Structure 1
Amino acid sequence: MLSPHYNLFGGVRIGAKIGLTELIFRSEKRRDLLIFLKDRPRSIDEIQAHLHVNSVSILPQLKKLKDRKLVIQKDRTYELSTMGKAIVDRMAPLLETLEVLEDNFDYWSQRNLEGIPPVLRSRIGDLKNCKLIRPDLSHMFELDPEYVENLLISRQVFGFSSYFHPSFIPLYLEIAKREAEISIMLTEPVLKRFKTDYLEDLRTLINFEHVNLSLFTKDPKLAGFTVTDRFFLLTVLPKIKFFEHESLLSFRPEALRWGTDLFSHMQKEAVQVKEI
């Protein structure tokens, strides 16, 4: 039996209703319009200015949303209906997540995301507009200059690492001397390596009152990250074994909160190191 929405030649009947998913996501104008109405009612002038459209192109889209009871018109303003709000509240995180993954698709698609807790994977949309740090072969084992520059002027630093880098301890010593609040979390192999190669510097570092060192005893499945009052740098392990030191850098407040929450989550499983 033919669907009532289709004619004998397989085409959609004129006037047939389309599903809500198709209504929302098939049109970028309708999708952006719904997001724009999320916070408060908007006038037609505000809608046109924000979406960079004229009335001829946006009024038909508004009519479709009104017909499906997602948008309500009150005088000269438009607002989301109760059903529209329920949809848009869930739609925004999805779109933000898609935007993050598309912006750096090659990076995310080649990474093992098991080290990111599910609660933070669901908030991956907070990492919008990250800059991909990709060192060339001649600088593969050097710290990124932008990272170092911002780290040195940070007042609060949370750092985690599951890999050894010879510059870490000298760099953190320099920050500690500038009286920044520092919390460092290391895996056991990395801590052992620092004890072997930088024992005195490590002891000097943890003797600062504003420096806290902890040991993460589980398999983190995460290369490392740094979050400060200025930036967030995330390094996720690749699915393959070759570690190319690629990272994502962000200065957005949402990313800083995401990174701080990640550190707090991992710190629950860590053990404080009081002496070396």
Structure 2
Amino acid sequence: MNSFEIYNEMEDNLQAIYRSRLLTEILLSLNESSRKLSQLREITGSTSQAIIPKLRKLEEDHLIETKEREYCLTPIEKIVASGVADSFATFGTINKFKYFWSMHYMEGIPTPLLNKIGYLYNSKVIYDRRTKILNVYSNQLKTIKEADHIYGISSVITEGYADSISERVKEGVPVKLIVPLHVAEELKQSPYTEKLDVLKSYKNFQLISKNEDLKMGLIVTDKCLALSLHKKSGIEYDITTGLFSSDPKAIEWGERLFGYYKVHSEAKLRGNYAL
């Protein structure tokens, strides 16, 4: 049975959730925590007379239950409510940053993480402006400077970026970087080869080269996510636009993206470095 057939079979149940604003708000609220009736009134802005029939219907359908005078979701309804919450976060993130997504190359983000793009809802997009040249780059360097650990994917390299990374490594900050082969080749040239030679003995530095083009720039730390992508053509890296977030869920998303490419890298270099 395909998705269209499932929808037709479950249409009434689906419409019952999405058609009723109050029912949706109750489910989303209980998905976060159990609530008293007074709390549901405050959250939804509705009266007891409006809320109680919805609660009774949910109880009859074994979707919610009462424990110590608080309403909570049954285990099975937690699955439904979580799915509803995820769908709103997904739609919200796509709509909120519609221009960013539409103008950039998305194919480098693996499907499992595209499906969790709602984790990025509490983010902001930073642009370079006439009055703020290198605004994105400056915020990336700030992210590096403030980090207690750094995971990165670099599809381009600059001296400023290399110097910032080198400084943090020397300060004892754990750093793991993934670079495509064309960047690895650049790192064999001056002045980068000298900088790498200095880092050679630092066990908190790991450099991984990947045998394919990486069409993104990623910095994910304990405090922040910074994501930049290639322009929509997939040819040119966009240095003028970046998505930034300090939300724990966005940081988790970034760590999973880094982990995906780390696992799939053909060359995994532990401890020191080798190119």
Q: Give the TM-score, by structure 1 length.
A: 0.80
Q: Which residue, out of 119, 128, 138, partners 1:135? A: 128
Secondary structure of the structure 2 residue equivalent to 1:234: strand
Q: Which residues in structure 2 correspond to 1:52-71 (within 5 Å)?
A: 52-59=45-52, 61-62=54-55, 65=58, 70-71=63-64
In the alignment, is the contact (CA less than 8 A) between 1:229 and 1:256 conserved in 2? Answer: yes
Query: Which deviations, in whole Å up to 9, do the C-alpha atoms of 1:218-254 show, x marking residues without a partner?
Result: 233x311011111111112232345432111111122
In the alignment, is the contact (CA less than 8 A) between 2:207 and 2:273 conserved in 1? Answer: yes
Alpha-carbon distance in 2 for matches of 1:189, 1:108: 26
* Residues paired across the two proteins, number: 258
Q: Match for 1:171: what amino acid?
A: S
The equivalent of 1:255 in structure 2 is: 250
Secondary structure of the structure 1 residue equivalent to 2:88: helix
Secondary structure of the structure 2 residue equivalent to 1:113: coil
Q: Which residues in structure 2 correspond to 1:24-43 (within 5 Å)?
A: 24-39=17-32, 41-43=34-36
Q: Match for 2:120: what amino acid?
A: L
Secondary structure of the structure 2 residue equivalent to 1:133: strand
Query: Which deviations, in whole Å up to 9, do the C-alpha atoms of 1:105-150 show, x marking residues without a partner?
Result: 2112333222112222222222221111111256555654333223
The equivalent of 1:13 in structure 2 is: none
Deviation at 1:23, TM superposition (A): 2.0
Q: Which moved more, 1:68-77 or 1:19-28?
A: 68-77
Alpha-carbon distance in 1 for matches of 2:67, 2:175: 54
Larger radius of gyration: 1
For the structure 1 residues 74 and 191, does the alpha-carbon distance in structure 2 shift closer, same or farther, using more than 3 Å as the test?
closer
Matched, 1:107 2:106: no
Matched, 1:205 2:204: no
For the structure 1 residues 206 and 232, does the alpha-carbon distance in structure 2 shift closer, same or farther, using more than 3 Å as the test?
farther
The equivalent of 2:273 in structure 1 is: 274
In the alignment, is the contact (CA less than 8 A) between 2:216 and 2:237 conserved in 1? Answer: no
Alpha-carbon distance in 2 for matches of 1:122, 1:258: 11
Identity %: 23
Deviation at 1:265, TM superposition (A): 1.4
Query: Which deviations, in whole Å up to 9, do the C-alpha atoms of 1:58-104 show, x marking residues without a partner?
Result: 34554665676645578965444566444223222212211221221
Alpha-carbon distance in 1 for matches of 2:218, 2:242: 9
The equivalent of 1:216 in structure 2 is: 210
Deviation at 1:213, TM superposition (A): 1.1
For the structure 1 residues 138 and 77, does the alpha-carbon distance in structure 2 shift closer, same or farther, using more than 3 Å as the test?
closer
Deviation at 1:39, TM superposition (A): 4.9
Secondary structure of the structure 1 residue equivalent to 2:159: coil
The equivalent of 1:157 in structure 2 is: 150
In the alignment, is the contact (CA less than 8 A) between 2:145 and 2:168 conserved in 1? Answer: yes
Deviation at 1:181, TM superposition (A): 0.8
Q: Match for 2:98: what amino acid?
A: F
For the structure 1 residues 126 and 157, does the alpha-carbon distance in structure 2 shift closer, same or farther, using more than 3 Å as the test?
same
Matched, 1:172 2:165: yes
In the alignment, is the contact (CA less than 8 A) between 1:206 and 1:212 conserved in 2? Answer: no
Alpha-carbon distance in 2 for matches of 1:234, 1:69: 43
Alpha-carbon distance in 2 for matches of 1:140, 1:148: 14
Q: Match for 1:87: what amino acid?
A: V
Point out where structure 1 has 5 or more consecutive residues left out of the alignment. 1-17
In the alignment, is the contact (CA less than 8 A) between 2:141 and 2:161 conserved in 1? Answer: no
For the structure 1 residues 155 and 86, does the alpha-carbon distance in structure 2 shift closer, same or farther, using more than 3 Å as the test?
closer
Alpha-carbon distance in 2 for matches of 1:159, 1:86: 33
